[in-house]
Amino acid sequence: MYRIGELSALYDIKADTLRFYEKHGLLSPSSRSDSGYRLYNQDDSERLKFILRAKAVGFSLNDIADLLSIEVDKSNRACAEVKGLVDSKLEQVEAKLAELQHFAASLKSLSNTCCGGPDSAEHCSILEALESSDQHIIAKKEQHHFSHSGHKD
Amino acid sequence: MYRIGELSALYDIKADTLRFYEKHGLLSPSSRSDSGYRLYNQDDSERLKFILRAKAVGFSLNDIADLLSIEVDKSNRACAEVKGLVDSKLEQVEAKLAELQHFAASLKSLSNTCCGGPDSAEHCSILEALESSDQHIIAKKEQHHFSHSGHKD
DNA sequence: CTTGACCTTAGATTAAACTCTAAGGTTTAT
DNA sequence: ATAAACCTTAGAGTTTAATCTAAGGTCAAG
């Protein structure tokens, strides 16, 4: 069991952030102490890890709420529904993955091309390395309306 | 050659956004018409694609400016310097990549486990699918100070 | 028994990344 | 010739995701 300060320290975020996530339905402590202190268990910690990871790879809190809603609602939703949601997110993830692999490849080739020495880097260019790329996954994002205020106040 | 409206339409962004990127040193049109209209060529378009991709995978404009600076400065920098910058970005990209692969695997296993039928999705959970994960790449980000106002006014 | 960690509500502030408005002007397409 | 697209500067407004402050309290460890 972690208290808010402990959990926030663990992930190097602010206690405020945890309260913010709670307010917005992303993460609630599984229990409270007699005195009302938030108590987070290992599952809560995992959930937080999930949130932070998803954030780190470019998902908005909205997107993350979508993903987590699968967890919350799982017994109230038909498998078909869940599968749909998951598959649509999977598409997004795979698009990002493709982008990143492209990136990584370019950076690697750049790093390898680069002599690493003290000479001018005239022939080093990410854009050169990236030059032949066709996919453009950069489209309109679905906007879900995170409802910054009307959540459950 | 694209005019601002054309290029922005091409990537489904606002003309304002292109002016914004220009003001912040991310993308300047390679030329102007006699009448002062911005004219973007194919290279500019590629650069924009790069920016939007990088954004889509969770890099900040700051991070992107770093990456692009390699391009801009390449003849003024020693190869060693460039290599350092590239390698550090590569680390970030690979960390993100690892996260995403984890994600994708979880979503896939979730999608597969899911019967996809009309029954309750009791046993579908992203968090369950993700449950055994150790890495925590979620650390303090380097903050570069994009200097929202003091760029070259 | 006091300091530091926590609680609450409520609102202010910050930062990034846009997005829009205004005001006044030029250019290009029909 | 007129409307739509562009130009400028300059600043206001928006959204997301925090972060901070205040005010007034409770709780726990040394």
Chunked mean pLDDT (size 10), chain B, 153 residues: 96 97 96 96 94 93 88 67 83 90 83 68 59 41 40 33
Residue A121: per-residue pLDDT: 60
| Chain A nearest CA to B121, separation (Å) | 4
Q: What is the pTM of this model?
A: 0.79
With 0-12 / 13-18 / 19 or more C-beta atoms within 10 angstroms meaning exposed / middle / buried, residue A28 is middle
Residues in chain B: 153
Q: Report the distance from CA of residue B5 to the C1' of nucleotide C29 in Å, as an integer.
A: 15
Percent of chain A with pLDDT strictly greater than 90: 43
With 0-12 / 13-18 / 19 or more C-beta atoms within 10 angstroms meaning exposed / middle / buried, residue A153 is exposed
Tens digits of per-residue pLDDT, A60-98?
A: 999 999 888 876 666 666 777 778 888 888 998 998 999
Give the span between the Cα atoms of A11 and A22, in whole angstroms. 16
Residue B122: per-residue pLDDT: 61
Which positions 64-123 of A are in contact with B (Cβ < 8 Å)? 67-68, 70-71, 74-83, 86-87, 89-90, 93-97, 99-104, 107-108, 110-111, 114-123
| Chain A nearest CA to B140, separation (Å) | 7
B134/A contact by beta carbon, under 8 A: no
Which positions 25-54 of A are in contact with B (Cβ < 8 Å)? 43, 46-47, 49-50, 52-54
Pick from B52, B88, B58: nearest CA to B70:
B88
Give the span between the Cα atoms of B65 and B58, in whole angstroms. 14
